């Protein structure tokens, strides 16, 4: 009999509620929680919060039990308040709310080449203007000189020209000759002084045209020479064969990588439906998936499909882009799930505290909970102006698909968008893409590939001593530097200007600030920030700031961790290309930290020209040194 009662869940529940520790809960046997809370009206009543959380699929474990106010778990509320109070240090600054997403911003901005050169050239090019400006300045100067030498005559002429015409009834009082002379003399002195300090500015758009003409004629000459001397081998060389080989297999693998992006989306969709909690299994599933996604798509092209090095590095770099997109989407929404749970908990706690007849909770705890509620309300409501897309309604296929198409790797619910697509602009960028790839193929086939073959022969030859090997390495380095500089600049233009702007135009993406004026950098920390804006934004939010909030790193430790992670990824890219783990690029990347410290010393900050020269020496020699090291040593 006793065993049967112990197996009866209803009996066990009644026993638990009748225990001394649960004396205040006995009324729940006769009054339901919903009925007891129906009359409660606070900024966010407990019943309203519970029903809203249930409709969003939140687990009831994150909320306080729907009990009478006298049964509020004071210790749980105070523990929650302590956790929230620790977060308030980074949430408020001088009574101003600091959002977690204030570190990255998107605005309507053109790319630097479009905003500084292309658009002004197409819209306002007028030919030579410097000569006209000089003539205008000379005419103004002659007028001023006449006013200085003959003030009376100039004043008389001025009065004659200002006299009313026949039929004009308006009258003006002429200025005296002395006043006119003094005013003219004063203005002439000021104007001449201003003229002496003015700088005439010329438009260099013609040189921009000449640059592209020189590139086109240079490519034409290379093609003609190659056709005459080698029968057009450059167009049928090893590089072109690499590009054509396994083309459909590479495209299929790339499609599979793209479809894998929808796994984190599926996790958040399950969280939205209440079938999974992000703070439970959700973040763990996404983290494990991201790790194996990267390893799998490094292993597959190398050891299973045996792709050539161009296909491998393309798939590796694209897998990194997709991985960063997945991570940004997953942990942006994961953070908002945490904010939503905190919002519901704080709102429910405030409602229960208001219901409580006992003054068991201090004013400090109540104020902390109110701050938590206000911050979470702000954070959830400030992500978009579109009410239909506010979290968690943004977790839908359309929103995620558009994010996968946008030329950015940092997720947010909405971005600045243009109104229409400029198809002539798209055609221009498409031509730039294929034209740049064509020039890159010629440069690689004619100038770089023979040097690489020499380096591989040296590497595979019999060891003749370190001095002899270093001599061969130095010769290869000198030969490869010019072509590597050209390749470096072409790759930058291809990816960050041609491809990203083309995608941005097709998707109506408004923020085209994909790179800054990195060519003017004087320190390496400036270069690391502005040469690749999309990746910098990702590292800033999801590595630098996330390491501070998750691991309690200080700024120095977070900077070191960010550089370390970036160095590891760069070393992986070299492993994919050369199949050699030598850590050369890892050490070169980490070497930027002391160089940054050196560049920020007072002595170097004042010498910006020297800093820029040192920067360009590193840009011109660094990639070539690394390539020759991996090829020969």
Q: Provide Rg for the chain, Cα atoms.
A: 35
Dihedral over alpha carbons 218, 220, 226, 229 (to 10 degrees): -100
Contact 476, 253 (CB under 8 A): no
Beta bridge partners of 92: 97
Rounded CA-CA distance 625/480 in Å is 9
Rounded CA-CA distance 611/606 in Å is 9
DSSP state of 598: H
Contact 590, 528 (CB under 8 A): no
Three-state SS annotation for 227-296: HHHHCCHHHHCHHHHHHHCCHHHHHHHHHHHHHHCHHHHHHHHHHHCCCCCHHHHHHHHHHHHHHHHHHH
Q: Cβ–Cβ contacts within 10 Å for residue 553, how many?
A: 18
> What is the token pair recorded at 247?
């083309």
Pairing state between β 92-93 and 96-97 = antiparallel
Which helix (DSSP H) or strand (DSSP E) does residue 324 occupy?
helix 309-355
Dihedral over alpha carbons 384, 389, 392, 396 (to 10 degrees): -130
Residue 444: which residues within 8 A CB-CB, separation 6 or more? 239, 487
Phi, psi for residue 45 in degrees, rounded to 5: -65, 155
Contact 301, 311 (CB under 8 A): yes
Active-site residue set: 570
Contact 315, 307 (CB under 8 A): yes
Q: Minimal CA–CA distance to 633: which of 475, 478, 458, 477?
A: 458
Rounded CA-CA distance 397/266 in Å is 10
Residue 522: which residues within 8 A CB-CB, separation 6 or more? 599, 604, 608, 611, 612, 615
Residue whose tokens read 């001025």 = 158
> What is the token pair recorded at 613?
């020269």
> Quick check: helix, strand or coil at residue 92?
strand
One DSSP character per residue, 516-533 reads: --GGG-SSHHHHHHHSSH
Which helix (DSSP H) or strand (DSSP E) does residue 621 occupy?
helix 608-632
Q: Cis (ω within 30 of 0) for the bond into 280?
A: no
Beta bridge partners of 610: none
> What is the token pair recorded at 231?
């029968």
Q: Give the Cα-Cα-Cα angle 539, 559, 404 (nearest 5 degrees).
A: 5
């Amino acid at each position: 009999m006793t065993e049967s009662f112990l197996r009866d869940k209803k009996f066990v529940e009644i026993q638990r509620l009748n225990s001394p520790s649960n004396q205040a809960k006995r009324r729940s046997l006769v009054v339901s929680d919903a009925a007891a809370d129906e009359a409660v009206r606070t900024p966010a009543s407990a019943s309203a919060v519970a029903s809203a959380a249930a409709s969003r699929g939140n687990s009831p474990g994150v909320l306080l039990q729907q009990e009478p106010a006298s049964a509020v778990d004071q210790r749980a509320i105070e523990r929650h308040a302590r956790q929230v109070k620790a977060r308030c240090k980074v949430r408020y600054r001088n009574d101003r709310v600091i959002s977690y997403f204030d570190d990255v911003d998107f605005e309507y901005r053109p790319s630097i080449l479009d905003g500084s050169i292309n658009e002004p050239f197409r819209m306002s090019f007028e030919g030579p203007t410097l000569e006209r400006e000089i003539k205008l300045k000379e005419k103004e100067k002659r007028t001023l000189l006449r006013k200085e030498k003959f003030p009376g005559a100039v004043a008389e002429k001025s009065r004659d020209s200002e006299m009313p015409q026949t039929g004009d009834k308006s009258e003006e009082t002429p200025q005296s000759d002395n006043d006119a002379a003094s005013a003219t003399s004063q203005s002439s002195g000021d104007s001449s002084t201003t003229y002496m300090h003015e700088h005439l500015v010329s438009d260099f758009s013609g040189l921009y045209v000449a640059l592209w003409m020189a590139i086109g004629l240079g490519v034409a000459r290379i093609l003609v020479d190659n056709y005459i001397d080698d029968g057009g081998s450059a167009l049928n060389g090893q590089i072109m064969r690499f590009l054509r080989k396994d083309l459909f297999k590479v495209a299929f693998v790339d499609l599979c990588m793209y479809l894998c992006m929808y796994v984190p989306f599926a996790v958040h969709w399950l969280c939205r439906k209440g079938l999974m909690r992000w703070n439970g299994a959700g973040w763990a599933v996404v983290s494990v998936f991201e790790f194996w996604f990267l390893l799998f798509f490094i292993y597959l092209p190398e050891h299973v499909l045996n792709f050539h090095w161009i296909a491998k590095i393309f798939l590796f770099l694209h897998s990194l882009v997709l991985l960063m997109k997945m991570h940004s989407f997953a942990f942006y929404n994961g953070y908002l799930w945490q904010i939503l749970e905190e919002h519901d908990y704080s709102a429910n706690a405030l409602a229960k505290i208001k219901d409580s007849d006992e003054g068991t909770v201090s004013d400090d705890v109540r104020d902390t909970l109110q701050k938590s509620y206000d911050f979470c309300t702000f954070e959830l409501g400030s992500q978009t102006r579109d009410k239909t897309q506010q979290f968690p309604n943004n977790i839908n296929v359309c929103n995620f698909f558009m994010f996968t198409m946008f030329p950015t790797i940092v997720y947010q619910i909405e971005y600045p968008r243009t109104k229409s697509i400029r198809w002539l602009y798209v055609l221009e960028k498409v031509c730039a893409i294929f034209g740049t790839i064509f020039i890159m193929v010629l440069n690689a086939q004619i100038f770089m590939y023979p040097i690489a073959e020499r380096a591989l022969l040296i590497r595979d030859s019999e060891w003749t001593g370190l001095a002899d090997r270093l001599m061969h390495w130095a010769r290869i380095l000198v030969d490869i530097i010019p072509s590597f500089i050209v390749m470096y600049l072409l790759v930058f233009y291809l990816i960050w200007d041609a491809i990203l702007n083309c995608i941005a135009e097709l998707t109506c993406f408004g923020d085209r600030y994909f790179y800054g004026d990195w060519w003017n950098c004087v320190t390496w920390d400036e270069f690391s920030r502005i040469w690749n804006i999309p990746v910098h934004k990702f590292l800033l939010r999801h590595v630098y700031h996330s390491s501070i909030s998750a691991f309690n790193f200080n700024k120095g430790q977070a900077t070191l961790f960010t550089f370390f992670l970036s160095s590891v990824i760069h070393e992986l890219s070299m492993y994919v290309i050369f199949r050699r783990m030598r850590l050369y690029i890892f050490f070169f990347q980490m070497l930027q930290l002391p160089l940054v410290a050196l560049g920020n010393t007072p002595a170097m900050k004042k010498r910006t020209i020297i800093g820029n020269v040192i920067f360009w020496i590193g840009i011109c020699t660094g990639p070539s040194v690394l390539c020759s090291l991996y090829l020969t040593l």
